[in-house]
């Protein structure tokens, strides 16, 4: 199993709405993640900086890098574009993070 982490950024005043939308995440979006080999997916928030830290485990044959091609993912991005920093295509601005330590 591979590990992957990245960060994103919320806009000011959007913490509660972001939580609410993720509490009601669409089942078809969850299925799309699973179908692409993404599992054990968590997002953490630094409330001071509004930085989101995402961690996920990926299967060896995952297609996570192709998630952005899926209509359900594009719809989710559009739905959340008002809450976070996004690119022109509504995808979240994200920065991949480099693992420097891991302990099982």
User: Where do the domains of the chain lie?
Assistant: 2-96
pTM score? 0.93
Give me the CATH code for the 2-96 domain, please: 3.30.70.100
Question: Which of these is catalytic: 22, 40, 49, 68?
Answer: 22
Contact at 8 Å (CB) between 86 and 92? yes
Is 22 in the active site?
A: yes
Span 31-58, pLDDT tens digits: 999 999 999 999 999 999 999 999 999 9
**Orientation of helix 15-23 relative to helix 71-80, angle to 10°:** 150
Please give the share of the chain, as a percent, with pLDDT higher than 90.
99
d(CA 90, CA 41): 21
Please give the share of the chain, as a percent, with pLDDT higher than 70.
100
The DSSP bridge partners found for residue 46 are 51
Counting beta carbons within 10 angstroms of the beta carbon of residue 62, is it exposed (0 to 12), middle (13 to 18) or buried (19 or more)? buried
């Amino acid at each position: 199993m591979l590990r992957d982490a990245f960060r994103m950024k919320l806009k000011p005043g959007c913490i509660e709405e972001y939580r609410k939308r993720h509490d009601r995440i669409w089942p078809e979006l969850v299925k799309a993640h699973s179908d692409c080999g993404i599992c054990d997916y968590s997002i953490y928030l630094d409330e001071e900086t509004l930085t989101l830290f995402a961690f996920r485990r990926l299967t060896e044959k995952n297609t996570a890098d192709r998630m952005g091609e899926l209509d359900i993912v594009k719809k989710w991005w559009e739905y959340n574009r008002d809450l976070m920093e996004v690119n022109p295509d509504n995808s979240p601005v994200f920065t991949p993070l480099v693992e420097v330590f891991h302990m099982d």
